[in-house]
Amino acid sequence: AAGVIQSPRHLIKEKRETATLKCYPIPRHDTVYWYQQGPGQDPQFLISFYEKMQSDKGSIPDRFSAQQFSDYHSELNMSSLELGDSALYFCASSIRDRVEKLFFGSGTQLSVL
């Protein structure tokens, strides 16, 4: 069965650079969630989208932005990268109001040097 696809799997950037992470949800899933997991930390909710509209927002820095496209894939754009942005970024997808359909991708490991 198709799963949530995240790309790239690993990303290395320098301070002050920009990064774009991509998430391809499971087919027919209309909701996407982004989570950030710092080293030794638990995943923290960043932002979510339903039907291409932002549905909820967590502790996402102003330097980050995200969107969901017409094909339901989502991109997380991160600018002016800081060392503290180094983390594992997870995307999850679901069918709205169906939490039993929530699935996580394998994550993108971002390292900022």
Instruction: State the residues that interact with other proteins by CB under 8 A.
Output: 31, 33, 35, 41-45, 48, 56, 58, 88, 90, 92, 94, 96-97, 99-100, 102-104, 106-107, 109
Q: Is the peptide bond before 8 cis (omega within 30 degrees of 0)?
A: yes
- Distance, CA of 4 to CA of 6 (rounded, Å): 7
CB 109 to other proteins: min, Å: 7
One-letter amino acid for residue 81 of the chain = L
Residue 93: CA count within 13 A, CB half-sphere: 24
CB of 41 to other proteins, least distance (A): 8
Q: Which residue, 79 or 104, is less far from other proteins as judged by CB? A: 104
Q: For the chain, what is the total number of helices (H) and then of strands (E)?
A: 0, 11
| Residue 55 or 79 having the CB closest to other proteins | 55
Distance of closest approach, residue 14 Cβ to other proteins, in angstroms:
22
